[in-house]
Amino acid sequence: MDRVAIVQHAPAFLDRAATLAQAASAVDEAAGSGAQLVIFPEAFVPGYPAWIWRLRPGSDMGLTEELHARLRANAVDLAGDDLAPLREAAKRHGVTVVCGVHERESEFSRGTLYNTVVVIGPGGTLLNRHRKLMPSGPERMVWGFGDAAGLKAVDTPCGRVGVLICWESYMPLARCALYAQGVDLYVAPTYDSGPRCIATMQHIAREGGCWVVSSGCAFQARDLPDDLPGKARMYPDPDEWINAGDSVVVAPGGKIVAGPLHEALGILCAEVDLERIGMARRNLDVAGHSARPDVFQLHVNTGAARPVVFHQE
């Protein structure tokens, strides 16, 4: 069996270097407990922009622009190897790392940010980069639309890992694209939380006959920097839990085996037995004997919108 660890920590908001230092330290801690797969939340570097759900259109435009400028300045440039501290931590311990980042494309547009999740292999190389296909609601003021170039499951020592971000897990065809690739560990870095989110993770584990690892964002108002524009008005109570986290690990078939970690910070660990996947799919295998390819077909355009350059050693 393999050990997975979900890091439900608050990042150093709007500070890429400090957040990556925290992430590397968390990998050290998780690996020390025996984890082979370490998972961080959605947009962890340099933090999910929760303020977008409280800013007002029009009257808060100045705040919006100032906050976006700081996000962009601290976003991750994959071509420039901004993730070196995290890659080095993965290589140091021989673990696989999944982490959500704000990605700044420097090769072409220089202006667009993407909600991206990277999968870093135990050798420190980048195995995959998935950009969120459709940002939700006001997220569209922050991130551009992703493509299906990274909509794939990749082989790791812990099994085939596929990633969907937050509300992508409510997109049936996106889920099917991963099921069709034999995903073993369905990883869902997310800002979603609460009973609905947890129920969805259980449904996916039943539907896909796979392990589901949902890594939630958890932080209080006190975790936002004091110089955050508009903080006093948007977050007057420092003890407010802006998001509860609710990270959870669900076994094939839908049983929760770890979590949910609610309104708390920590590292949530679970043992993952890949043999349970075959047992779950004996009765329902949506990409195997339960599929009807003579009735249903799914076409996925995996071509990237433009060339993508990764930095690897």
**pLDDT confidence of residue 269:** 97
Residue 288: pLDDT band with limits 50, 70, 90 = confident
Arithmetic mean of pLDDT over the chain: 90
Residue 263: pLDDT band with limits 50, 70, 90 = very high
Whether 166 is a known active-site residue: answer yes
More confident residue, 220 or 281: 220
Looking at the domain assignment, is residue 166 inside a domain? yes
**pLDDT confidence of residue 12:** 96
Whole-model pTM: value is 0.92
**pLDDT confidence of residue 59:** 73
Looking at the domain assignment, is residue 16 inside a domain? yes
What would the DSSP string read from start to end of 55-87?
A: PPTTTTHHHHHHHHHHHHHTSB-TTTTTTHHHH
Least confident of 57-61, 162-166, 215-219, 239-243: 57-61
| Percent of the chain residues past pLDDT 90, beyond the cut | 71
Give me the catalytic one of 99, 132, 168, 210. 132
Distance CA 55, CA 185 (A): 36
Residue 40 predicted with pLDDT over 80: yes
- Paired tokens of 153: 């499951």
Residue 109 predicted with pLDDT over 70: no
Whether 231 is a known active-site residue: answer no
Looking at the domain assignment, is residue 126 inside a domain? yes
Please give the average per-residue pLDDT across 30-46, as a whole number. 96
Distance CA 100, CA 103 (A): 9
- Shortest CA distance to 118 belongs to which of 76, 158, 55, 88? 76
Characterize the bridge pairing of strands 211-216 and 126-131: unpaired
Question: How many domains, in total, are found in the chain?
Answer: 1
- CATH code of the domain covering residue 80: 3.60.110.10
Could you tell me the CA-to-CA distances from 75 to 43, 120, 225 in Å, in that order? 10, 18, 17
Number of residues assigned to the chain:
313
Q: Which domain holds residue 163?
A: 2-280
Residue 92 predicted with pLDDT over 60: yes
pLDDT tens across 205-253, in order?
A: 999 999 999 999 999 999 999 999 888 899 999 999 999 999 999 999 9
Looking at the domain assignment, is residue 287 inside a domain? no
Q: Between the CA atoms of 88, 127, 247 and 73, what dihedral angle is there, to the nearest 10 degrees?
A: 60
**pLDDT confidence of residue 287:** 79
Residue 264 predicted with pLDDT over 80: yes
Residue 200 predicted with pLDDT over 70: yes
Please give the average per-residue pLDDT across 105-116, as a whole number. 79
Helix (H, G, I), strand (E, B) or coil at 17: helix
| DSSP state for residue 204 in the 8-state scheme | H
Residue 63 predicted with pLDDT over 60: yes
Looking at the domain assignment, is residue 62 inside a domain? yes
Query: Quick check: 3 and 159 in contact, CB under 8 A?
Result: no
Distance CA 195, CA 200 (A): 9
Distance CA 151, CA 43 (A): 17
Give me the catalytic one of 99, 139, 158, 166. 166
Looking at the domain assignment, is residue 98 inside a domain? yes
pLDDT tens across 117-145, in order?
A: 999 999 999 999 999 999 998 888 889 89
Count CB-CB contacts under 10 A for residue 138.
15
Helix (H, G, I), strand (E, B) or coil at 99: strand
Looking at the domain assignment, is residue 271 inside a domain? yes
Looking at the domain assignment, is residue 307 inside a domain? no
Whether 132 is a known active-site residue: answer yes
